[in-house]
């Protein structure tokens, strides 16, 4: 199996992708930029998930050129229907700019008074895969659900503690990692990437 460079400096994302690929392709070796001596922080300035994922994947692929690596990058966000699809592409910024950096609390405040039928939302992830020759492929994963009226669970990160999965009673943060990674937006997109690598 090839070696796959995770085009991100986010430790949470490193851990989640290692867990996901550990199930989908256990023989695949994943490396982080730091592990191979890369230090860059591409500007995520595109106006779409695909655009941001491409910016990151291409920057790291160029920096790792000649090393024979595959490169994977993703961009993702939470889209809340009652907020017109926000925070969406700006989900990470939403967290950073929230009081005390608590994006979950800020989201619950924005949705105060909205009944459950109106709290539909989804996580969306776009993964870009670049092979050692420079060929690019993109894959999208969606996880539908709702925003709860409070937070529960200690797993995951970001908006996981307030995201009710599907029509069920559990928050994303309450799911065991293996279950989350099987149904999550990132897990679904990663499964497509693994299938493409096997082609």
Q: Which residues have a catalytic role annotated?
A: 75
19 has which bridge partners?
Answer: none
Find, among 181, 68, 184, 39, the residue nearest to 130 by Cα: 68
In angstroms, the Cα distances linking 156 to 17, 29, 71, 136 are 12, 22, 23, 29
What whole-number distance in Å separates Cα of residue 43 and Cα of residue 145? 30
Q: What are phi and psi of 20, to 5 degrees?
A: -65, -50
Contact status, residue 182 vs residue 143, Cβ threshold 8 Å: no
Tokens standing for residue 79: 């889209």
Neighbour tally for 132: CB within 10 Å: 16
What whole-number distance in Å separates Cα of residue 163 and Cα of residue 144? 9
What whole-number distance in Å separates Cα of residue 160 and Cα of residue 128? 23
């Amino acid at each position: 199996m090839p070696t796959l460079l995770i085009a991100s400096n986010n430790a949470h994302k490193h851990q989640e992708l290692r867990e996901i690929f550990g199930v989908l392709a256990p023989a695949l070796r994943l490396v982080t930029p730091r592990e191979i001596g890369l230090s860059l922080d591409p500007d995520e300035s595109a106006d779409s998930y695909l655009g941001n994922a491409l910016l990151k994947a291409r920057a790291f692929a160029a920096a790792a050129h000649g090393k024979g690596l595959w490169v994977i990058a993703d961009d993702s966000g939470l889209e809340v229907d009652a907020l017109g699809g926000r925070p969406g592409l700006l989900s990470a910024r939403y967290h950073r700019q929230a009081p005390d950096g608590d994006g979950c609390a800020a989201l619950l405040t924005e949705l105060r008074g909205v009944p459950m039928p109106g709290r539909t939302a989804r996580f969306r992830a776009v993964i870009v895969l670049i092979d050692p020759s420079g060929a690019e492929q993109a894959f999208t994963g969606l996880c539908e659900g709702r925003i709860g009226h409070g937070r529960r669970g200690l797993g995951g990160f970001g908006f996981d503690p307030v995201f009710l999965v599907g029509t069920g009673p559990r928050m994303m943060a309450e799911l065991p990692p293996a279950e989350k990674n099987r149904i999550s937006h990132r897990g679904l997109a990663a499964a497509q990437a693994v299938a493409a690598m096997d082609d």
